[in-house]
Amino acid sequence: MAVDPPTLAKAFGATSIPLNGSIRLTFTISNPDTNVTLTGIAFTDNLPAGLVVANPSGLSSTCGGTATAVEGSSSVSLSGGTLAAGATCAVSVDTQGTTVGMKINTTGNVTSAEGGAGETASASI
């Protein structure tokens, strides 16, 4: 039986971010398989220039495993997540704009032990 990889979506909490202001960034991971629990779920998002993890980060996760987002850094990651068949989970973090102008942000591929590599996710602010 083939196992589908997890899917990843991301969204900023607003359409723009003021200089030195903060905006919530949420990553939603879905398990498209109806009979298989996915384990070892992981992704990394390297934020674009002009966007960093806010201080405080407000990091939260419902995905299990280890979510990481160090204040002032430019990356957010999840490793070792677990997701039941047909379920979704989320990783959220506050980001801060350090420069003006549009930023386009694309994650690395989401992966799992059972389903392999899925797609990337993109969002703009």
CB 40 within 8 A of CB 92: no
Question: What fold is seen in the domain 7-102?
Answer: Immunoglobulin-like (2.60.40)
φ, ψ dihedrals at 88, nearest 5°: -130, 160
Half-sphere exposure of 65 (CA within 13 A, CB side): 21
Average pLDDT in the 13-31 region? 95
pLDDT of 36: 96
pLDDT of 2: 87
pLDDT of 86: 97
**Is pLDDT above 80 for 9?**
yes
pLDDT digits (tens, 9 = 90+) for 70-119: 999 999 999 999 999 999 999 999 999 999 999 999 999 999 999 999 99
Which residues, at least 6 apart from 83, have a Cβ–Cβ distance to it below 8 Å? 6, 29, 30, 31, 37, 38, 41, 63, 64, 89, 112
In whole angstroms, give the CA distance from residue 71 to residue 78: 16
CB 43 within 8 A of CB 81: no
pLDDT digits (tens, 9 = 90+) for 24-83: 999 999 999 999 999 999 999 999 999 999 999 999 999 999 999 999 999 999 999 999
Which residues share a beta bridge with 66? 79
**Is pLDDT above 90 for 1?**
no
Mean pLDDT, rounded, of the chain: 96
pLDDT of 75: 98
